[in-house]
Amino acid sequence: MDYQHNPFVLIARITVQEGKVSEYMVIAKDADNAVNKSEPGMLLHNFDADPNDKHKFVWTEVYRNSADFLFHADNPPVQDYVNKHAELADHFSIEIYGNVSCAVIDKIEKLGIPLAHFKNTGVGYVRSEYFS
C-alpha cells in the first residue's frame, strides 16, 4: 500500500553533552527559524525539554506527507543543524507514528539514525480536508 500522502508525527530524541545545552539551544533555534521559513509542509515543529533530565530534548514534528519529510531531510539548514548537532550531542533517535512511504524509511536508514516506526493499526482517522 502507498502511504506517501498520509500526515504523520515524527519524534526526534536528543541527549546534549554536559555543558553544551546553551550552544545547542542556539542551533535548535536557528534550525527552527529556517524550517518555519522554508517548509510549508511542516505543520508543527516544537523543541521540548525533558522534565527529568536537563540534557534531554525532543523535537516534535508533524508532516503533511512523506514528500515533506524528504524535503526536510535534504533542506540545507537542516543538514547544517545535523552537522552541528554531531559536535554537541551524544544521542539522536527517531520515532515515527503513522504510516509513511518506503522512501521515508529508506532515507532515515541511509542516514544511520536509530528508528522506531509505530505503524497505524487501522484504528483512528485523519481529517483529510486539512491535508490536501
Closest CA to 89 of 38, 55, 127, 58: 55
CATH fold of 8-127: Alpha-Beta Plaits (3.30.70)
- Check residue 104 and give its pLDDT: 96
Its sign, for the CA torsion 44, 35, 93, 67, is positive
pLDDT digits (tens, 9 = 90+) for 93-128: 999 999 999 999 999 999 999 999 999 999 998 888
Burial status of residue 15 (CB atoms within 10 A of its CB: 0-12, 13-18, 19 or more): middle
The Cα 3–Cα 102 span in angstroms is 8
Residue 82 CB coordination number (10 Å): 15
- Check residue 4 and give its pLDDT: 75
Q: Give, in degrees to the nearest 5, the angle at Cα 11 between 123 and 40.
A: 90
Amino acid at 4: Q
Whether pLDDT at 132 is above 80: no
